[in-house]
Every structure is written in C-alpha cells, then in structure tokens.
Structure 1
Amino acid sequence: MTPTVPLFLLLLGLIGAQATFDQRMAAAMAAGLCKARPTDLVFIVDSSRSVRPSEFEQVKVFLANVINGLNVGPNATRVGVVNYASRVKNEVSMKTHRTKTALVKAVSKIEPLSTGTMTGSAIQFALNVAFSEAEGARAKSPDVSKVAIIVTDGRPQDNVKDVAQRARDAGIEIFAIGVGRVDMTTLRQMASEPLDDHVDYVESYSVIEKLTKKFQEAFCVSDLCATGDHDCQQVCISTPGSYKCACKDGFTLKDDGRTCSAPCGNAAIDAVFVIDGSKSVRPENFELVKKWINQIIDKLEVSEKNAHVGLVQYSSTVNTEFPLGRYNNKKDLKEAVKKMDYMERGTMTGMALRHTVDNVFNNARPGVQKVAIVFTDGRSQDYIGDAAKKAKELGLKMYAVGVGNALESELKQIASEPIGDHYFYTADFKAMSEIAKKLQINKCEDPCECDSLVKFQKKVEDALQALNKKYILYESMSKRIALLENKIV
C-alpha cells in the first residue's frame, strides 16, 4: 500500500447557514429589489381523460398560486391559458383579464375536456393564437419575455418535437412539467435549453404545488448581488436583471465565469461516481439521480489538468459508463451522464466498490486527490466491508449518499473519517438537490499552497516507487549471490 498525504477536505457538508429561497425572495421584495419583467405567459394544460377531475382541480390551484406570485398588468405580466385534450380550447386570453383576481376567477371556472392527448396541436395553437397580438400578446421585442408552461401526465398522440422547435425558434421559452407516468423523452423534446432548468417531474398532481416557488422566482428580476443569490466566488457585479462575476486583484476569472484562480492554479482531483441502478430506484427517480450528478459536476473545474470524472453504474452487475479522463469539458461530460441507460435488477454494492478500485482508479493520475461518491437507495446484497476498507486504505476519499431504504450503517461503513462529514441521507429523491449543494469541492484559500501540497505528494509517491524498485533489485541480487555461493560450495 502506498501511503498518501491528506491534502484538503473535499465535498464539504452544509455550506454555512445559506438563506432559503423564501428568505431571499422576501428580502428582495422588502428591499424593492424584485421587479416584474414584462412577460407574455401562456399555460398549456393537459385535461385528457387520464387526468381525473380532482387532479385537474389541483392543477388549477397550481396555476392560481403561480399567478398570485406575479406582477400582473398590461405593462408587466400578461397571462393566457390553453386547455387541451383531443381538441384545444383558448380558456383565458391575454387581452381579457388584466388583474390577478379576474385571472384566478377565470382559471377556477375551467372544466376538463376528458378526451385524448394532442399536445403537439396545443403547442401549435398557442404559437398561432394564444401568443398572437390579436389575443393580447405584445410584439416581439428583447424587452418582453415569451414563456409557455406545459403541464401533462401522459404520452402525446401527435408529434411534439418539430412544433416545439418552431415555438422555441419564435422566441418562446418552454417549461415542461410532467406528472406520474409521463413520457420523459417527450418533456425533453418540448423544453428549452438548458433542460435541467426547464424540465420538471412530480410523482402526482397532489405535490405539483411544490413547483410554485420555482416559477415565482423565474418571473422575479432582482438585484441578485444584493440578495446574495449568485454563485460568484469572489466579486459580484450587478447588471439589469442579472449579474456578472469578477475577481480580486491578483486573481484571474476562469472559463466558467464564476471562479477565480491565482497564477499557480488549483489542485487537481480524480472523482468517480458509483451509482446504484437497481430496480428499486425506478426510472423516474433515476432521471433525478442523473440530474443530481450533473449538479455536482457543475461545481467542478473539469479540464485536462484539473478535475477528471468517471462514472460507474451497478445493479446485479457493474458497468463503467465512462473512465476517468475521457471527457475534459463539462458539456461532453454532462451529456454522457444524461445518456446513461438504467440497468434495473439487484444491488451489489460490494462488487461495485471492488470494480471501482481495481478497474477505474487504477488509471487515476499519480499525485492527485482521489474521490469516490457512492450512491445507493437500498441494502446491499453482498458484503461491502472489505471493499470499503481497501478503498480507504489506498487513499481514496469515500463519500456515501443514501436515499429511501438505504441503510445508514452501510453508508457509514463506506464513508471516510470523519464519518459525519462524508455520508448523507435523505428519505426522498426530490431532496437530492439539497445534498448536491452540500457536496462541494473545497478549493484552497491559497491556491499556490494547494499546488505545493500536490507536488509534495507526487514527490513522496515517486520516492516510494523508487525505493520499491531498489528493494526488488536488492532482493534479486541477493538471490543470485546465494545461488553462486551454493555452486561454489
């Protein structure tokens, strides 16, 4: 075993006492920092026969909640509602209701159509009619946003890909919300880029109201630097409705536009995700897991010299989805994660750990901090103790993340010391984004010091390898001398 020098803590725990969304929004409102950006907004709502009447009532409550969070008015946000099933109906026109009270009342009177699911026709109708100036929409302008929010729970009976592309090309930003057994591929075909921001999934209509805050935030233009709602590492500079990042004297803004580096750079890292793809995860939750992986990747400085990322998926078997160093930019890396197919079957966590150590980290770079992030949603069907112990003895920094029926005792067995900083658990897949916020690479306060530590570790490893070679050579020479002595005797 080659000893390694601990360099720095990675994937920190909770980042201080960061304000919640509600606190940030309240602070922005109180300070007058949150203003309505002129927006033409159209809800496109599925009321096909698969949506029960009680569920459709919950959709209307969601619409009313979003509307109540908007600054409604002729010069602010104008709202329309398109209802569809096998046919399409313009329930609320942007020219008809100009106050929240009138809009909410009109929404409450909408009745489900209860036939098929012609989502493509509904998008085309919104493009041709609901967003037309004749129905109260404003002329196309860089000062006015055009937004469509689609809510659906099934697979469309017509084509949505081409018509959604035409709508996006016309300047309409599309958010796609899927419920229950919705077809996730269809949601991605409809939504605007980046898909992570424009595609949402809920398991049932009973929890759709949880998305209300997201859309209230989307229509709030605030001084993000003043509210603290930004991700600049050092300096935040306000711009109208947005912000840009800068660096302190002596530091340089990196290509990601958020973080800063001193001339000597930052330490590198080799990180491997070890992901449970067993049947208990379920397809819709597996999509959330992939989104969670990409949230963490967003926090890394992926490049040939800095962060390398590998991905292993396991169930009853183990598969290296891609090895360390195959992708040297975030875009290609995140696309590879999105393309990962769901395995299903059993949960052989011990086998996955052994595979990761023996077949993935064997190609890691010498002198680089090595990190494994292990995710599981249930009890392992094989023994994990020996594999977890070996990984930590070889110098891997082990993080264990559990959801649902995962055993905390197994998570703690996998996690590095101090265990409280290296294992995380949540009962709900939807809360994984909060864990992603806690898992963050710890960049050194002094990047030059980081570089020095890594160089020192590399020298130590080289010296140990040289000693090992000398020992092998010495042992070989000793055997030869012994053989010669035997012949002389």
Structure 2
Amino acid sequence: MGIGIHPPGEPVMIEKCPAYPTELVFALDNSYDITEESFNKTRDIIISIVSDLNIRENNCPVGARVAVVSYHSGTSYLIRWSDYNSKKQLLQQLSQIKYEDTTESRDVGNAMRFVARNVFKRTYAGANVRRVAVFFSNGQAAGRSSIITATMEFSALDISPTVFAFDESVFLEAFGFDNTGAFQVIPVPSNGENQALERLRHCTLCYDKCFPNACIQETFLPEDSYMDVAFLLDNSRNIANDEFKAVKALVSSVIDNFNIASDPSISNTGDRIALLSYSPWDSTRRNMGTVKTEFDFTTYNNQLLMKNHIQTSFQQLNGEATIGRALLWTTENLFPKTPNLRKHKVIFVISAGENYEREEFVKTIALRAKCQGYIIFVVSLGSTHKGDMEELASYPLDQHLIQLGRIHKPDLNYIVKFLKPFVYSVRRGFNQYPPPMLEDACRLINLEREYNQSDGFQFVTELQEVFSEENGFTGQELNSGRESSFVNLEDNGSGYLVYLPSQMFEPQKLMFNYEKNKKSAEIASLTSATFSPF
C-alpha cells in the first residue's frame, strides 16, 4: 500500500508512491563533526522513508530506484542502482551501512554536484521520469558558492533536491528562485521527526503534478533588483541555419525570466532587454566592425513584441566572428547611451564557433567590462577553445559559462533552466561584480582610464596592423549598427584600427601624433590599451 498523504480540502488519493517513475538518491553526511549516533539516526530515517515507497524490482518503469552515497569533502557510493534486485535486498543493504570516523570537513555543495554529474549520469530517460535527491547536512554548511552552482545545475537537469539542514539559511537563500516547491529545505528532524518526513513525502516523493498542492511558494526579490540585459549573438558564417533558428528559440525562452518595464524609456522600474548580433568583417578585411542592433533597451515594453521581432525580423548575417569588438561596442555605446540604467548590467554572449581575434584582445576587452561592473554570461555552442571562453566569462566560471557541443534540443533546455536560478542569483547579489580576485587588475585599468581622460581624449582599443605592405587603408569609417566607432588609418602599407567613442578626434590630427617607428609599448601612450584583435 502506498502513502495516502493529502492536504486538507483535497480529495484523498490512495495511490502508490511515487506517482511517477523516480530516480532517488540519498546522501548521508559523514563529516568530522558527525557522531555515530547521529549518523545511525539518519540511516534509520532513510530506511523509514524507503519502507513506505514502491521500489522498482524489474525493468518496468514504475516505482523508485534508489542509490545512496555518503559525503564529507568528497563523495563515496554506498549503494548503487544495480546493487539490489528487490525492496527486501535494498532494506537489508541500508541496515548494513556503518559509520566511519573521518577528519574531513563538510562540503554539501560539492556532494550535490557529484550527485548531479555522476550518480544521475546513467538514469532512465522519459518525459515522466522524476529525479529526486535528498541530502542530510547535520552541521554548519560550507561552500556557499558551490551550493549556488549546484542549485543551477540541479535546475538545469530537472533534479528536485531536498536538504535536511542543521544550517538552513544558505539553502533557503540558494533555493529561493524556485516557486514550485520542488527545491525544499527542511530542518534536521529532532526526536519527533514525523512532521518533517510528512513534508518530504507530500511535496517531493509522492508529488503528483496532475494534482497541484500547497507546496507552491512565492519568490521574494529585493526592491532594487532590476536589470538591463543585452543579448550579444554570434550571427556569423560559423552558425548553421538550423542552429540559428535554435538560438532564436533559446533567446525567446530566456526572456521569460525577466519582468519587462512597461515604460522602458522613462521609468526606473522593470527589466529591459536589448538584442545585438555580430558578424563583423568579410574576407577582404575592408568592411569591418558591424554590430547590428536588432532592438535596444527602450524599443519594446513586453516579451510578446520582442519574440515577434526575433522570429520575424531577426535575419542571419555572414562573415567571421569578432566577439571582442562586439563586446567593446556594447559597453561603450549601448549601455552608456541608455537613460536610467538599472542596478544590474548583464551581457549574454552566445558564440557558435571560432573567434577571429587574438586571445589577448578579447581578454583585455572582457576585463575592462568586468571592472566596470558588467556581468558576462557566456554560452558556447561550437568548438571554441575552452580557455578563450573562460577569459570572457565572469566569475565564478561554473555559474557564468556553459560550453556545449553542436546544439540539440536537450542542450537548449539545459541552458534555459540553468539561467532561471542564475538570474535570481544576480538579483539577490550572491556574487560581487567585479570579484575581489580582480581588485588589483581593475585598479590599474581605472588609473589608466583616468590618465587617458585627463589628456582630453579616450581611446578604448588600439592601433592594429591588419594589412600587408602592398595594401593601404581607405580611411573608411566602420559600421557599428547605429554609428561608426572604428576607423582605419592610412600609413604607407601598415594599417591601424582605432576605436573612437563619443568625442571623436579627426584622424588627421591623430596621425600627426603617430610616428611610424614607434614600438607598440610606446604607442600605448596614445591609447587606453594596446592589444591586437588578430
């Protein structure tokens, strides 16, 4: 007989529990401060829970399959999926789990990630298969950042976690994005643990999505948690037609995470979205710098209009990808020229393949953006080298970088579900932007910017040689979508690219100050940075 738990006022449903095929993992805390008595008590709670469940005993996809691990700073298997053939065998193995003394500290976030990435790696697929993980944390929680990262991964993988926690605060904070009641935090049961176990059974183990219940909870956000969010999409020849359609679908889904401002031009409340695409230069290198603004922060005031633009007006371009220049234009033009900037400035970079700029160039542009407080989340859909994307994304990388192979539908779903808790983490200020690890680097960059501004002009990127000696520059301005930001300067066979935001000096005056025999280190005095895109 299954568990017939039901909230007051709802009809009694006496059904087997779980209602759907379920992959269930229990994780026992075995850290240095856990006593044998406490460990055995946790084990007995698991035995009590399993005794009331319908356990899968053959290949028929009904009931629950159970695996058990223990953790401290690392994680170890106690019972694997394949270690038993019947409920009786499973209960016998559970009763034989013994306490082991250890000096290792607790890292429940690391254990959560191990369960997500390893234990659930080989589980049954299917639209109705549920994946549930129950963790017991019987002491002070450690590794706040790893818990937040694990929360994002659990959300992306459709794993419903419940944590029996002695220290509830960090889990309540990390799980706060979830309004379904699937991510539960329960106080460690005392002598009378029936009420806590009732909640686990009712809201997690025996939950039936066909009968909504009282487990749904409200999400609370700080008052000043609005965002300006720019999507910077690779629209080059690297992305195939079907991938381009998938990326459009991805962006359409992700924007549902935001509360769009009803009056984006004037009001100080609500989120705002901008969509940019980059495919900056052709094979002749004479048509460079294209950053196309599909719509900016003040164009649309609801998701429906944005989605309609994405599906009907957003067309694929050709060319080679240059992420650095596109990111530069975004931080020097799009955000600064928008009124009433929000507290959080987020840039989603979606890259489909190789980037045709030097790594140092992209690294420096990204560092400048981070030091200005921009949050950069990177989705790499192609074969771009991991190191390149790591230099681009904000910290911690596990929370700001997703690298996939060539995309397919499950991967896109992973991204959409990962981003829900990520957006929540930004609103709640879980991370610091820029992070403390960049403090020294940002101090140098800020001093450099102040120095250049005190000279009466500011160059954000560099003089850069792009042509062979037989080719000269035409002096043409480069198209930046709305206004020209890059200019090519002519110099008898050597060409240099200079970015000129806002107050632009005449190229002739700049060239008068440039001496051909200067080394790049000396040229840096003319610019706020010297680094080469190619």
TM exceeds 0.5?
no
The structure carrying a bigger helix percent of its residues is 1
Higher RCO, Cα 8 Å, sep 6+: 1
TM-score range, shorter chain: 0.3 to 0.5
